[in-house]
Amino acid sequence: MNSLNPYGAWTLFLRETRRFLKVHMQTVVAPALTALLYVLIFRYAMGSRTVPGLGVDYLTFLIPGLVMMAMLQNAFANTSSSIIVGKVMNVHIYLLMAPLSAMEIILALVASAVVRAFIVAAAILAALWAFVDIPLSSISLVMLYGLCGSMLMAGLGIIAGIWAEKFDDIALISNFVIMPLTFLSGVFYSVAQLPPFWQQVNRYNPFFYLIDGFRHGFVGVGDTDPYASIDLVAGATGLCMLACWLLWRMGWRMKP
Amino acid sequence: MNEAALQVLGLRKVYANGKTALAGVDLQVAQGAFHALLGPNGAGKSTLINILADTVRPTSGLAKMLGRDVFRERSWCKRHLGVVPQEVAFDPFFSPVEILRITSGLFGCRPDESWIRELLERLGLAEHAYKNTRQLSGGMRRRLLVAQALVHRPALVVLDEPTAGVDVELRRSLWSFMRELNRSGTTILLTTHYLEEAEQLCDHVTIIDGGQVVADRSMRELMEVVAGRYLFLGYGDAFELSEADARALSAFRPRVMSGGVCLHLGGQGGEDLGFHRVYEAAVSRLGIPRKVEIRQEDLEDVFIRLTGHARKEKSTS
Ligand SMILES: Nc1ncnc2c1ncn2[C@@H]1O[C@H](COP(=O)(O)OP(=O)(O)O)[C@@H](O)[C@H]1O
Ligand SMILES: [Mg+2]
């Protein structure tokens, strides 16, 4: 039997968390500032228009989407950069050498990424509080979608990190997969405003459900039924975790 | 009977590019041993060590640590194993003392501050404990690597070229530290470029070449049985051995050394070729030498004879 090593997993969690806190200007403050700029720009650009179909003030609609987008991107960045930095600098071997199971490693990496996502979310909301009223319809929806979304992205970050061989590979995935998918999943507009074809396409975009469900938790309305999409979102998250665990156990692209 | 600290059976490794790094290696390291694993560059030493460390996947074969299957009971075995990898690299985010605390934690041990302080002091890193690792010299970084492997107090320590790039004085202090650690019961498996040091420190030697074991004996046995005597004939600096001469003297395994040639006189246990027979054969081909010496092979000579590779330039003194 392989013995459990909860203290080791806890140490790894703390190591990952301290790593992003050490560069908090870049990992926490910068995302909050970016969100603040978006809100300021859109306030001037859009005035106090409401979103057609939902009857919500545009800024109130926009903010939860921005928060979720930042959570997703930061969760992805945390795990993917940790693994790729490790591989490029050849320090990933210390993780491989430690008596930690694949499960413990994945859990610790994901937990730290989730913590980063929530810290970033809190920072953005704190920065915006002063400018806009932010309603809160269901804290449990917010937490559930926030958790699922950041876990899913942390998992995708792990897979990307395992697959990548250099920093450029991660930048490639970030810029050409993650960014477009999050931008196009209804952060800036209601999907109901889209032509029917693109509405249909969005049905297959997992980020769409994540952002819509998360926003639902704040504003109380949305394009989908967030309680019905929970299964889908939780299922996708579970599958992603499973994939991470299997890949790590195999040592794919980590161990020659 | 005592369980071996490490037992490797038929270990093979074929890398993805088709390169066979280990072609069925057997190795046994007794508990409490100071065991040298030697071999020319590319012999497969690091591959063997990395497979034990779980950073390289084995192709086939078996490894046991203290009777436990290394590949099946990874966690247990890893907790009792400390590895100093050949390549030096550190997480740029953390200072030496943080690295030691984190490593200790990853191995499931609450950081033992007094042991960490002792390691830093014994390895001459105490003043650098809070620096960025990028500010450390090559030698210091290598010693930090050693400290990192010892922080969870493993029963078996495997060191892959721990003294590469470390200057003589620090090398000595590192060796005395390792010797002390060994005396207090830690089993040590070591690869090194410094064969004289291996000869002094280690009680057992395994030499591998091309992924196969070519010698595996206690150091005493190796030096008494395998190490033979050879005849050194000095002909001056301009000496060169022609191909015809090399062929004619091939029974004595001629080897050119600066200013002359070495001819094997046979092992102490094996067939003794006899001084006169060798000498006369040499003189009939090469003429009367200016200098004649009978020498005892040291580990370096044995190594070269068994692997056909010079480990480093050796000067005749
Ligand atoms: N990741 C790898 N992929 C392919 N071949 C490798 C890899 N690592 C090592 N090798 C090859 O395996 C052989 C053994 O290497 P290594 O174990 O590093 O030898 P040593 O440590 O004894 O110098 C060498 O021929 C080396 O080129
Ligand atoms: Mg090597």
Contacts of B52 in chain A (CB under 8 A): none
- Going by the DSSP 8-state scheme, the letter that residue B2 receives in this structure is P
The CA B169 to ligand 1 mean position distance, Å, reads 30
User: Residue A187, exposed/middle/buried by CB under 10 A (0-12, 13-18, 19+)?
Assistant: buried
Report pLDDT digits (tens) over A96-128. Answer: 999 999 999 999 999 999 999 999 999 999 988
Q: Tokens 């029917």 — which residue?
A: A196
Q: Which residues have CB under 8 Å from B294's CB, separation 6+?
A: B229, B230, B231, B232, B265, B275
pLDDT at B270 over 80: no
What is the predicted pLDDT for the residue at B273?
Answer: 64
From residue A112, how far is each of A74, A129, B127, B284 by CA, in Å? 11, 26, 32, 78
CA closest to B77 among chain A residues: A99
- In whole angstroms, give the CA distance from residue B253 to residue A31: 72
Enclosing domain of residue A57: 6-250
pLDDT at B118 over 60: yes
Q: Tokens 């590979």 — which residue?
A: A169
CA B115 to chain centre: 27
Please report the atom of ligand 1 found closest to the CA of residue B50. Answer: 17
Residue spans per domain, chain B: 6-223, 228-296
Q: Is residue A212 part of a domain?
A: yes
What is the predicted pLDDT for the residue at B68?
Answer: 94
Report pLDDT digits (tens) over A117-156. Answer: 999 999 999 988 877 888 888 999 999 999 999 999 999 9
- In whole angstroms, give the CA distance from residue A215 to residue A222: 7
- Going by the DSSP 8-state scheme, the letter that residue B31 receives in this structure is T
DSSP string, B180-210: HHHHTT-EEEEE-S-HHHHHHH-SEEEEEET
Of B120, B190, B116, B185, whose CA–CA distance to B152 is shortest?
Answer: B116
Q: Is residue A31 part of a domain?
A: yes
- In whole angstroms, give the CA distance from residue A251 to residue B194: 34
Report pLDDT digits (tens) over A2-31. Answer: 579 999 999 999 999 999 999 988 889 998
CATH topology of domain B228-296: Alpha-Beta Plaits (3.30.70)
Facing residue for A98 by CB, picked from B90, B91, B107: B107
- In whole angstroms, give the CA distance from residue A111 to residue A102: 14
User: Residue B185, exposed/middle/buried by CB under 10 A (0-12, 13-18, 19+)?
Assistant: exposed
Cβ–Cβ < 8 Å for B187, B202: no
pTM of the full predicted structure? 0.86
**Region B6-223: CATH code:** 3.40.50.300
Interface size between A and B, measured as CB pairs under 8 A: 84
User: Amino acid identity of A77?
Assistant: A
* Residue B312: pLDDT band with limits 50, 70, 90: very low
The two tokens of residue A16 are 């990952």
Q: Identify the residue whose C-alpha is closest to ligand 1 atom 16.
A: B44
Secondary-structure percent of chain B, ordered helix, strand, coil, rounded to 5: 35, 25, 35
HSE value, Cβ hemisphere, 13 Å, CA-based, for A75? 28
pLDDT at B313 over 50: no
Q: Tokens 């721990």 — which residue?
A: B162
Facing residue for A89 by CB, picked from B16, B73, B92: B92
Strand partners, B77: none
Q: Is A19 in contact with B93 (Cβ distance < 8 A)?
A: yes
How many CB atoms within 10 Å of residue A127?
Answer: 16
Three-state helix/strand/coil letters over B46-87? HHHHHHHHCCCCCCEEEEEECCEECCCCHHHHHHCEEEECCC
| Phi and psi torsions of A195, nearest 5° | -60, 155
The CA B21 to ligand 1 mean position distance, Å, reads 6
Q: Which residues have CB under 8 Å from A49's CB, separation 6+?
A: A57, A58
User: Residue B14, exposed/middle/buried by CB under 10 A (0-12, 13-18, 19+)?
Assistant: middle
Q: Tokens 């002094």 — which residue?
A: B200
Q: What is the mean pLDDT of chain A?
A: 90
Report pLDDT digits (tens) over A34-80. Answer: 888 988 888 888 777 777 777 788 888 888 999 999 999 999 999 99
The total number of structural domains that make up chain A:
1
Three-state helix/strand/coil letters over chain A? CCCCCHHHHHHHHHHHHHHHHHCHHHHHHHHHHHHHHHHHHHHHHHCCCEECCCCEEHHHHHHHHHHHHHHHHHHHHHHHHHHHHHHHHCCHHHHHHCCCCHHHHHHHHHHHHHHHHHHHHHHHHHHHHCCCCCCCCCHHHHHHHHHHHHHHHHHHHHHHHHHCCCHHHHHHHHHHHHHHHHHCCCCCCCHHHCCHHHHHHHCCCHHHHHHHHHHHHHHCCCCCCHHHHHHHHHHHHHHHHHHHHHHHHHCCCCCC
Cβ–Cβ < 8 Å for A29, A123: yes
The CA B74 to ligand 1 mean position distance, Å, reads 23
Q: Which residues have CB under 8 Å from B226's CB, separation 6+?
A: B215, B217, B267, B302, B306
Cβ–Cβ < 8 Å for B257, B300: no
The two tokens of residue A110 are 């994901």
Q: Is residue A192 part of a domain?
A: yes
pLDDT at A216 over 60: yes
A102 in contact with B, Cβ within 8 Å: no
Of A45, A90, A39, whose CA–CA distance to A69 is shortest?
Answer: A39
Report pLDDT digits (tens) over B210-255. Answer: 999 988 888 777 777 666 777 888 888 888 888 888 888 888 888 8
Q: Is the CB of B19 under 6 A from ligand 1?
A: yes
Q: What is the ipTM of this complex?
A: 0.88
pLDDT at B179 over 60: yes
Of B7, B9, B20, B1, whose CA–CA distance to B209 is shortest?
Answer: B20
